[in-house]
């Protein structure tokens, strides 16, 4: 069987089963299956650990991203994973694979972006590894964080009747990517600098996640790294529930509407399928909704939108304004067949 026959999620499940990888144990609160692993070394806080990789030609194209932007983006994704658990970033380890003929100035600018992103969100780069590669750069970031034990949030706590809530706007990152691919860096920035920035230099919702966690009103939370169509089913599977999303409730920016028209694409489909938005996806009981939304919005200014509800059955559906319901799908998955 080939990896393209499995896809990323099934591959992970296969490895966990085949090698009996622990979900918990002494010192391990939570293993595979969430945005970060959770370790308990004693004391009032848990340690959070997450790792992300970026490969040239898969996650980025060198002709439409500067080294600084690539450095920022590579660290931002891992910090978003820490935020999704309600945690604070602490230490960052970075490993890179570059061609031997890579110019030193490129490496300096790459690390400048990494350091800037890490420090912006309270972390420091403390090590890593470097290797030479023959074709295509690779970046791997391991991010550590911490969280007070009472505030830890997981994907697995959603309950039927909870409201499905997201921060910010969906689809902006993929809108920026599509503009960059069609027009190149300079022209794409003129068409919509907002969307281009969303793709090249995403801002993790760390403050929003902190406010949500400290409200004690959220049942489940994760970040939207692979798109709503891929990530909401993950949250539902972890929680043993289903979901119904209302298409007209999905918050789409004016910039994305304009870009979608220029690109001749469906803005709703971009919002559902586009990855790397790094917005927060939450399941919140209706009784806590107003309070949590007020705390997040008042402390950060970021909009909080109810887009659906958690259901008892396992189906994950989207309902359109005409009442028609279809399976919610889309989003990014590695190894999946085209």
Residue 39, pLDDT score: 97
Q: Residue 60 carries which DSSP code?
A: B
CATH superfamily name and code, 33-149: PurM-like, N-terminal domain (3.30.1330.10)
Report yes or no: 167 and 205 within 8 Å, Cβ to Cβ: yes
Res 58: pLDDT = 86
The predicted model gives 311-335 an average pLDDT of: 87
pLDDT at 19: 84
| pLDDT at position 32 over 60 | yes
Q: For 188-246, what is each residue's pLDDT tens digit?
A: 999 999 999 999 999 999 999 999 999 999 999 999 999 999 999 999 999 999 999 99
pLDDT at 335 over 60: no
pTM for this predicted structure: 0.93
Range name among 4-8, 123-127, 146-150 with the lowest pLDDT average:
4-8
Average pLDDT, integer, range 321-333: 84
Residues 42-99 have pLDDT tens digits of 999 999 999 999 999 888 999 999 999 999 999 999 999 999 999 999 999 999 999 9
Tell me if domain 33-149 and domain 163-327 are identical in fold.
no
Q: Where are the domains of the chain?
A: 33-149, 163-327
- Distances from the Cα of 234 to the Cα of 35, 161, 331, angstroms: 11, 18, 12
Assign domain 163-327 one CATH number from 3.40.50.20, 3.10.350.10, 3.40.630.30, 3.90.650.10. Answer: 3.90.650.10
pLDDT, residue 332, reads 53
For residues 322-338, give the mean pLDDT: 74
CA-wise closest residue to 83 among 287, 294, 282: 282
Strand order in the sheet with 45-55: 28-30, 37-39, 45-55, 138-148, 88-98, 124-132
Tokens of 292: 């949590």
């Amino acid at each position: 069987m080939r990896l393209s026959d499995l896809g990323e999620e099934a591959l992970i499940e296969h490895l966990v089963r085949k090698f009996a990888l622990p979900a918990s144990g002494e010192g391990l609160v939570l293993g595979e299956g969430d945005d970060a692993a959770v370790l308990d070394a004693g004391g009032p806080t848990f340690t959070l650990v997450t790792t992300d990789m970026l490969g040239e030609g898969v996650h980025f194209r060198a002709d439409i991203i500067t080294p600084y932007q690539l450095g920022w983006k590579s660290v931002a994704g891992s910090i978003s994973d820490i935020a999704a658990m309600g945690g604070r970033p602490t230490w960052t380890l970075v490993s890179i694979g570059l061609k031997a003929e890579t110019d030193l100035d490129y490496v300096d600018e790459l690390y400048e972006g990494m350091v800037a992103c890490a420090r912006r969100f309270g972390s420091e780069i403390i090590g890593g590894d470097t290797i030479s590669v023959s074709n295509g750069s690779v970046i791997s970031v391991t991010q550590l964080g911490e969280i007070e034990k009472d505030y830890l949030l997981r994907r697995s706590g959603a309950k039927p009747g909870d409201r499905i809530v997201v921060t910010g706007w969906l689809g902006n990152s993929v809108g920026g990517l599509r503009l960059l691919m069609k027009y190149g860096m300079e022209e794409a920035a003129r068409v919509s600098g907002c969307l281009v920035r969303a793709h090249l230099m995403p801002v993790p919702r760390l403050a929003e996640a902190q406010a949500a966690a400290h409200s004690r009103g959220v049942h489940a939370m994760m970040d939207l790294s692979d798109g709503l169509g891929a990530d909401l089913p993950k949250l539902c599977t972890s929680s043993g529930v289903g979901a119904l999303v209302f298409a007209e409730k999905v918050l789409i920016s004016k910039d994305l509407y304009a870009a979608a028209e220029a690109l001749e694409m469906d803005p709703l489909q971009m919002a559902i399928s586009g990855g790397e938005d790094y917005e927060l996806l939450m399941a919140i009981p209706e009784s806590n909704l107003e309070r949590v939304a007020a705390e997040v919005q008042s402390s950060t200014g970021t909009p909080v939108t109810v887009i659906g509800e958690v259901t008892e059955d396992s189906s994950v559906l989207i309902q359109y304004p005409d009442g028609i319901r279809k399976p919610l799908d889309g989003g990014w998955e590695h190894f999946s067949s085209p």
